[in-house]
Every structure is written in structure tokens, then in C-alpha cells.
Structure 1
Amino acid sequence: MTRLRTSTIVLAAALAGACSLIPAYQRPAAPVPEAFPNAPASGAVAAPQADTLAWRDYFADARLRELIDLALANNRDLRVAALNIERARAQYGIQRAALFPAIGVTGSENAQRLPADLSMSGESRITRQYSATLGFSAYELDFFGRIRSLNEQALEAYLATEEARRSAQIALVAEVANAWLTLAADRERLTLARGTHETRQKSYDLTKRSFDAGAVSALDLRQAETLLEGARADVARYTALVAQDENALALVAGAPVPAGMLPGELADVLTTVADLPAGVPSEVLVRRPDVLQAERALRAANASIGAARAAFFPSITLTAGAGTASASLDGLFKGGSGTWSFLPQIRIPIFEGGRLQASLDAAEIQRDINVAQYEKAIQSAFREVADSLAERATVAEQLDARRRLVAATAETYRLSEARYRAGVDSYLGLLDAQRALYGAELELIGVRLAEASNRVALYRALGGGWK
């Protein structure tokens, strides 16, 4: 037992001095400009960084925060991402265990009968041997870092799954917010369609009475009916959209959504999405979870090169054990029954038919592939931020223009109605003014939704929302 303990200490010391053949890691340079296009320069220093701003601080509405909490607890995609982390952690634990000898206790009995013609005494005999041993088998001394390289690879794979979960959470938070805002917009569209239908119903009823009295033509009546039925169709369409939006919200939340968490109209929730200053350098992208995930995959590929290099060198494995042995069970633990064994083995690769070199080439090529994937992840992230900033640069102007358009078309409708009532203009002019006003109000809702969604998209693109 003393020799086994001494051997274990010697092995630990040998491992502590073992070398590593993993190439020195260098993060590839980001293949994007240092600054985002269309990014406002003011406020760049004082602005909080998106990846340090928790989503609870970004979304002010209590209903939306409760809904995001519900989704984080019940969304199945996020649950799968969390389980993937647990699986990767377990796989890392399995690989890390290879750094240490697997020590176990074995007990055995070996019984053998010899026939008379094989026995020295000329008589058949039965022999028995009992043994109990403590030791380890085929433990590889990691002199050249092969096992430690594989352990490093497993660790980076585990950390990559953690970044994948963070990325999935960011996507989920943004998806919940956008679904919530879409529901609010469609509810406002439905309210507008219902109000327009009621107005056109009254106008149709008035036109019908005028037609019955012979004051207007059949053309005026049919034009009023056309607008009425169009509004009725819109009511049915937006009713279906609201129901579908609620179903989509329940799906992304992973559970039925209580009525208290549903939004009102878009006008009531626009102020609940904070405005995020965007004057930040493009290097913030390297902190995005999906970019970090790509970098972890690159580090794992880099570590696999060390394992492939180590395969060219000799490998030493040890098998050792100590215990007792006896021909009788009751003598197994008596004095003088101690046994030990020590079986070192060295394997030196001489000819592998090019297998080792091919394995190293494959590992290096995989590293180059991961470099390209890492650079592509940065470029994709840069485009997402740039697209959001490009939309943000004009959305305020679009919103102001749409508001002014609604005001102008509302005044046009008022004047057209007054002129029609006075008999100056035809009913066709009034109907055109009604259609223009209704369309302008729908467009205004769409632009307001786009403005709120843009803030959510920019927050997600800059890597916020995972805390």
C-alpha cells in the first residue's frame, strides 16, 4: 500500500510538470469598422452599455416585465438551452475525470479443476484462489498534454453552451416584447376599425334614408355601402389577428397569459419601451453572447490541435494494484498474504499510415473554419446594429410626418363633409376623404409600432437583455 501511495504522488508530480502543445490563442481582429454608421455621436460616453442594462430596467411596464418573467420560467426553447448546459457540464466532468486515475477495489475467486491425467499426483484436484485488490488500470500519464487538451476542449464547449443560453434568453426577451407590442398595435387597429365601421354605418344609414327620399342617387348609396363593407371586413380581419397575436404570445410565454399581463392599445404602451443611447463603438459586439459562443467554439478547436499534436509522441499508461491473495477464503487477510503489481506500458507511434498527420490537418482546418465563423458572427452582429441604427435615424421623422398627415387628412375629411352637406361637392369626394383618413391612421399605428420595435431590436443587437 505504501508503494502504491508513493507511485500516486510521483504521478501527480509528473502531471504537474507536463507540457501542453495547444497553440497560443489570439483573438482574431474584428473585420468591421470601429464605429457604426448612422450612430449618434452625442452621449457616447455617458450612455449605459446595452449588455450592462438589465431588461427589467429597460422595459418599464409592469405587465410586460411580469410576462417576460413568465416566459423565462416556462418557454420550452429556453428550457432546452438550459438542459444543454447541464449536458455539456456533465460531458466536461466525464472528460476531466480522465486526468485522474480511476481507483477501485476488486475481489475475485478463481476455481480450477485438473483432471487426473494432467495432475502431477495422478489424481484429479480442485484448486481455488481468492484475492482482494485496490488499484487502477490503464491510467495514461499526460506528459504531452493530450488529455489536458481534450479537457480544455470540453471546457470551452461547456462555456459555449452557456453563451448559447444567454443568447437564447436575449432572443426570448426581445420576442416577448415584440409580440406584446404587436398585440397592442393590432388591438388599436381593431379599435380604429370598429370606430370606422360605426361611423360608416351611420353614414350609410343616413345615405339610405336620403336615397329612399330621392335626395341622392343609387351611386352614392352603393359607394357608402362599399366603404361600410370594407370596414366590416377590416373588423373581422383585425379580430382574427388579435386572437392570433394572443396565441403567439401564449406560445412564446410557454403558458397561458393572464388577462392582467395583456397590453392595452399601442398608445398606452409606447412609453414603456425605453430609448437606448446608441453612441457606442463597434467593439461592444465582442461581448454579445452569440459572438462569445463563436469564440468559445474557436478556443475549443484550438485546444483540439494540442491533442492532435500530442498523439505524435509516446504515450505511457500504468496499471498498478495492491492487495491480498490466498488459496482459502479464511486466509485472505492473514499475515504474509499481501500482493502487489505494477505494469507500466509505453507506446511509441512509428507508422500510422498518415492517420496522425491527417488528424492534425483536420484539427487545424477546423480551427480555420471556426475563425471564419467567428468573423462572420461579428459581421452579422454589426449588420444587425447598423440596420437598427439606419431605421432609427429616420423613424422619428417618419413618425412626425405620419402624425401631420393624419392631422391634415382629418381636416380634409371635415372640410369635405361640410362641403358635401352644403351641396358644394359630390359624395365621392367625401368618401375619398374618409378612405384617406382611415388609411393615414392605420399607417400611423404601423410607424409607431416600428419605432417601438426598433428600440427593442437595437437593445437586442447590442447584446442586452440576458441579465
Structure 2
Amino acid sequence: MKTLKWSPIALVLTLTLTGCAVGPDYQKPEHTIDTEYLYQDTNGTVQDGLHNVQSQVNIQQNSTPWWYQFDDAVLNQLVADTQQQNIPLKMAAERIKAAQAYQQAIESFKVPTVSLGAGYSTAQFSDNGPLLGPVVSANNPLGVPLMDAQQSGFFAGATIAWEVDLFGRIDSQAQAAFIRKEQAIIFREGLNTAITADVIHNYLQMRGAQERKSIAIQTVNDQKTTLALVNKVLASGYGSELDLARAKAMLAASKAVVPQLATAENVHRQRLAILLGDTPSQMHQRLKQTSVNKMPDMTGLIPVGLPSDLLQRRPDLRIAEREMAAINEELGAAIAAKYPKFFLTGAPGLVASDFDDVFSSSSTAWIASVGVSWNIFDGGRSDAMVDIQEARFKNSALSYQYAVNNAIGEVETLLQGYGNSQEYQSLVLESKQQTDRAVSKAESLYEAGLVDYLSMLDAQRQQHLLQDRVVTARLQTAQVAVGLHKALGGNWQLNSNMTQ
């Protein structure tokens, strides 16, 4: 009768085929989310087109970016250049490369490690040595050396080592590394959104400061004309020194506003230079090529979608969800580390004393082994590592829940703010139109001597104030629109044909 024999290698391979991962299965978290926003009917928004990932991709590929609604070629070019030149975005791209390399390094532990070697060795053994001395010396019971005292030879071979991932420890680590790479990609996407929003914000602020400065300069010119009129009326004997003093005070106050607005304009221009990676002189040359000094207005509707769309559209929520998945894999690796580790090693090679004999069949030599390592007692260290990962997972789940609640609250706040800012802008514009009529009437009556200067001065003061307020109201509406788009998330990366 034949006896069935198992070789060590066959035994380990069998265990590998029948083994299974011991880590917990991961499922994406589920949250109770409202089916619609509380302020979904805000003026200037539409519930459209964001209900699944594929539709988001189609929107990104088939439509122009949302900031094109400002219809400002300079802004469009600044954004395109920023996404190509911004230094933090380049750093984020390098982080993705590092994450990919790290994943590859971890994946490499799943396959055998093979190293090749070759060389020549020589050794001289002592006749008086305690171990080999009697073998290489003639002073032994046989009276002749059993082995030459000097040994030399050539060798060539390979060393093969492989840890059999029976319980899925390495596989969990590799999967965690893959998720970390996903996080790096999502992080760059989110950074691109934040930086693009920062460019749009600073551009609007710069243009707003320029427009307000133009209004302030025009106000100064108007008040100079008014001052000349007061002097003329005073010379004719109808005016008063008080009217003249008031006119001069108003003119000085208006002049004081101009340098403040010039400072604000420069601050935002320098910020744009930093975002684009330009020098201040380069940014000055960029903006010098255009004569536009007016803040653009956004047209069109903002697609809001559903609250649940945020889970796939906002990078911060996607990173938080992927953090849970990564920690779950690291928890699996910590659990698997408590189980035995199996190793296969081998070293086939060629050994000969003469180089001419190295490649002959009789020079073949090899060694192979299978081993197991298992920490049966470590003072509770393995259990503590599992507890750490479990605590991290629970913390990441709470962080994700908090991030979801915060994201929905942010959108709700900006939706209401967007509606209120539009209403405020409309009322300010209506007030300015009425004030323009009042100023025109007051100037005519003053010149005819039917009202005093104080009445005309008050009407002009209201006009200048509302001219500036109209610009700030438009700027506020535009800035809330930028914030709302940012809060809604989505991919803001320009297509390659748009950056050319």
C-alpha cells in the first residue's frame, strides 16, 4: 500500500487556497437625509441635473463651467492658468504620485521577492582550529588530511522569499493603500475647487474695488463741480460761508475714500498673483491689457439638486467616507496580525571550485524551507492595536456624520443668503434710482434759488452713498453665488480643450 505524502510547499499552497480574510466587511454608511432643501425655491436656482454620478460627468463634459456665466474673458483665462500653474495644485499632484508609489510598494509584498547573486569565495582553515582543525590537519587518527585547508569556489544563484497571506493581512494593507491613493486624488479635486473659488473671489473683489474707486473719483469730480457752483452763488450774494465749508468738507471726505479702495484693489491683485504663481509685475501686465474696471454680473440659474447629491459631489464628504473605508482595512490588517504568518524560502544555485564547472549539472545546489511565525503572547499588544483601529473607525464614522450635517447646513444657509442678497440688491437699486431723481430736482431748485444748499447736499450725499452701495450689493450677491457653488461641490477641473 502506498503512503500519501504532503510536501511542505503543497501544504502551504493548500492552506492559501482554502484561507480567508479575517477583517470586517465594509459597507458605505447610510444616513437619513431630507429629500429636498428647506430653501430650495430660492430665486435664481433650479432643481436640476445632479441626481447621479453619471449625470454629473455628463454635465461636466457637455457644458461650460459655471463661472462662464460671468461672461468675463479675463476671469476665464485667470482660472484656466491657475489650474495649470498653481503651486499647491502641483504639490497635490505629487502627493498622488507618492500615494501610487506607496500602494505599489505594499502590493509588492503579495508576490515572492527574488534576488540574484554571484561571486567568488575563498577561505583558509587553521590546522589548530577547534572544529575543522582535525579535518584539515594530518595530525588525526588517519594520519592524512580529510579536507584541504584552503577552500575556494565560484557560486551563482537566487534567493526566493514569500510570505503567504493566508489571513489577508497584506491584502488589507494593500487595499488601505489603494484607498489612500483615492483620497489623494479627491483631495486634489477639492483643492482645485477651493483655489478656483479663491481666484473668482479675489477677482470679483478686485473688480468691485476698481468700480467703487471709479465711483469715488466721479463723486470727487461731481463735488468739485458743486463746490464751483457754491462759490459762484456765494459771489452773487445768495450763498453763505457755511455752504462753502460744507461743500469743502464733503469733497475732502470723498477724496479720502479713493486711496482706501486703491489699497483694497492692490491686495486682491497680489493675492491673484500668488494663486497663479505669477510675480506682481506679471499680474500687473496681465490686467493692464484690459480696460475693464467693472465687476461682472452673473447670469443664469444655479442647479441645486438634492441633498443626497452632496455625498458624491463634495470632496470633503467623499474623503471622509474613504477614511472610514481605509481604517476598516487597517482594522482588518490588525486582526489578521494576531494569526500565524507562513513563509516560503528557497535558494537554488550553482557552486563549483572551478569556473569551468559552474554551469554543469553536477554543480546544482539548493535549499528550501517552509516556516510559520505566531506570537502567542505579546502582553496584549495585538489586542490593543485592534482596539485602536476600532476606536479610529468609530471616530471616522462620527466625523463623516458631522461632515454631512455641516454640508447640508452650509447649503441651506447659502441658499437663504443668496435669495436675501438678491432681494437686497433689488431694493438698493430701486432706492438709487429714486435718489437720482431727487438729486436732479434738488440741483435745479438750488440753482434757481428755491432751496438751500443743505437740501441739495443731503440729496447728493444719498446719491453717492447708494451708488457705492449698489456695487457692494452686486458684489455680495456674486460672492454668495460663488460660495453656494462651492458648497454644492462637483468637479471644477477644466477640460483640456478649455485650458488651451
Tell me the TM-score normalised to structure 2 length: 0.85
Q: Structure 1 residue aligned with 2:318, among 271, 288, 292?
A: 292
Q: Structure 1 residue aligned with 2:97, among 83, 86, 89?
A: 86
The reply on whether 1:110 has 2:121 as its aligned counterpart is yes
Asked if structure 1 preserves the Cα contact closer than 8 Å seen for 2:49 and 2:56, the reply is: no
Q: Secondary structure at the match of 1:143?
A: coil
Asked if structure 2 preserves the Cα contact closer than 8 Å seen for 1:36 and 1:282, the reply is: yes
Compute the displacement of 1:39 (Å).
0.8
Q: Secondary structure at the match of 2:339?
A: coil
Compute the displacement of 1:262 (Å).
5.9
1:47/1:263 Cα in 2 relative to 1: closer, same or farther (>3 Å)?
Answer: farther
Quick one: distance in 1 between partners of 2:379 and 2:109?
A: 27
1:116/1:285 Cα in 2 relative to 1: closer, same or farther (>3 Å)?
Answer: same
Quick one: distance in 2 between partners of 1:350 and 1:9?
A: 25
Compute the displacement of 1:366 (Å).
0.7
When structure 1 is superposed on structure 2, of 77-86 and 330-339 the one drifting more is 330-339
Quick one: distance in 2 between partners of 1:102 and 1:369?
A: 37
Other-structure match for 1:281: 306
1:321/1:292 Cα in 2 relative to 1: closer, same or farther (>3 Å)?
Answer: same
Q: Structure 2 residue aligned with 1:352, among 365, 378, 386?
A: 378
When structure 1 is superposed on structure 2, of 364-373 and 8-17 the one drifting more is 8-17
Q: Secondary structure at the match of 2:424?
A: helix
Alignment of 1:249-260 (within 5 A): 249-255=272-278, 256-257=282-283, 258-259=286-287
The reply on whether 1:309 has 2:310 as its aligned counterpart is no
The reply on whether 1:38 has 2:61 as its aligned counterpart is no
> Unpaired segments of 5 or more residues in structure 2?
1-6, 139-147, 494-500
> Unpaired segments of 5 or more residues in structure 1?
1-5
When structure 1 is superposed on structure 2, of 364-373 and 13-22 the one drifting more is 13-22
Compute the displacement of 1:403 (Å).
0.8
**Counterpart amino acid of residue 198 in structure 1:** N
Other-structure match for 1:246: 269
Write out per-residue CA displacement over residues 23-74 of structure 1, whole angstroms, 9 at most, x where no aligned residue: 1212222365332221129986644569544383323233322211100001
Asked if structure 2 preserves the Cα contact closer than 8 Å seen for 1:153 and 1:303, the reply is: yes
Compute the displacement of 1:136 (Å).
1.3
Quick one: distance in 2 between partners of 1:213 and 1:44?
A: 62
Other-structure match for 1:133: 157
Asked if structure 2 preserves the Cα contact closer than 8 Å seen for 1:275 and 1:455, the reply is: no
When structure 1 is superposed on structure 2, of 28-37 and 89-98 the one drifting more is 28-37
Quick one: distance in 2 between partners of 1:180 and 1:148?
A: 48
Asked if structure 2 preserves the Cα contact closer than 8 Å seen for 1:91 and 1:154, the reply is: yes
Compute the displacement of 1:133 (Å).
1.4
Quick one: distance in 2 between partners of 1:38 and 1:101?
A: 59
Asked if structure 1 preserves the Cα contact closer than 8 Å seen for 2:348 and 2:367, the reply is: yes
Compute the displacement of 1:111 (Å).
2.3
Alignment of 1:409-420 (within 5 A): 409-420=435-446
Write out per-residue CA displacement over residues 197-227 of structure 1, whole angstroms, 9 at most, x where no aligned residue: 1001111233234445654322211111111
Q: Structure 2 residue aligned with 1:399, among 392, 415, 425?
A: 425
Asked if structure 2 preserves the Cα contact closer than 8 Å seen for 1:318 and 1:343, the reply is: yes
**Counterpart amino acid of residue 20 in structure 2:** C
Tell me the TM-score normalised to structure 1 length: 0.90
Compute the displacement of 1:264 (Å).
2.5
Asked if structure 2 preserves the Cα contact closer than 8 Å seen for 1:298 and 1:371, the reply is: yes
Compute the displacement of 1:422 (Å).
2.9
Quick one: distance in 2 between partners of 1:68 and 1:18?
A: 53
The reply on whether 1:58 has 2:66 as its aligned counterpart is yes
Identity of aligned residues (%): 24
**Counterpart amino acid of residue 264 in structure 1:** V
Other-structure match for 2:193: 170
Q: Structure 1 residue aligned with 2:460, among 434, 444, 466?
A: 434
Other-structure match for 1:26: 27
Write out per-residue CA displacement over residues 312-332 of structure 1, whole angstroms, 9 at most, x where no aligned residue: 111111211211112333322
Over the aligned positions, Cα root-mean-square deviation in angstroms equals: 2.6
When structure 1 is superposed on structure 2, of 183-192 and 26-35 the one drifting more is 26-35
1:250/1:197 Cα in 2 relative to 1: closer, same or farther (>3 Å)?
Answer: same
**Counterpart amino acid of residue 312 in structure 1:** K
Other-structure match for 1:151: 174
Quick one: distance in 2 between partners of 1:253 and 1:71?
A: 5
When structure 1 is superposed on structure 2, of 354-363 and 210-219 the one drifting more is 210-219
**Counterpart amino acid of residue 35 in structure 2:** E
Quick one: distance in 2 between partners of 1:79 and 1:163?
A: 14
When structure 1 is superposed on structure 2, of 12-21 and 75-84 the one drifting more is 12-21
Compute the displacement of 1:107 (Å).
1.8
Other-structure match for 2:297: 270
Q: Structure 2 residue aligned with 1:449, among 470, 475, 480?
A: 475
Write out per-residue CA displacement over residues 291-335 of structure 1, whole angstroms, 9 at most, x where no aligned residue: 111111110000011111111111111211211112333322223
Write out per-residue CA displacement over residues 382-423 of structure 1, whole angstroms, 9 at most, x where no aligned residue: 122112101122222212101111012212222222332233
When structure 1 is superposed on structure 2, of 52-61 and 325-334 the one drifting more is 52-61
Other-structure match for 1:3: none
When structure 1 is superposed on structure 2, of 187-196 and 328-337 the one drifting more is 328-337
1:218/1:293 Cα in 2 relative to 1: closer, same or farther (>3 Å)?
Answer: same
Other-structure match for 1:459: 485
Length, aligned pairs only: 458
Asked if structure 2 preserves the Cα contact closer than 8 Å seen for 1:173 and 1:465, the reply is: no
Q: Secondary structure at the match of 1:319?
A: strand
Other-structure match for 2:351: 325
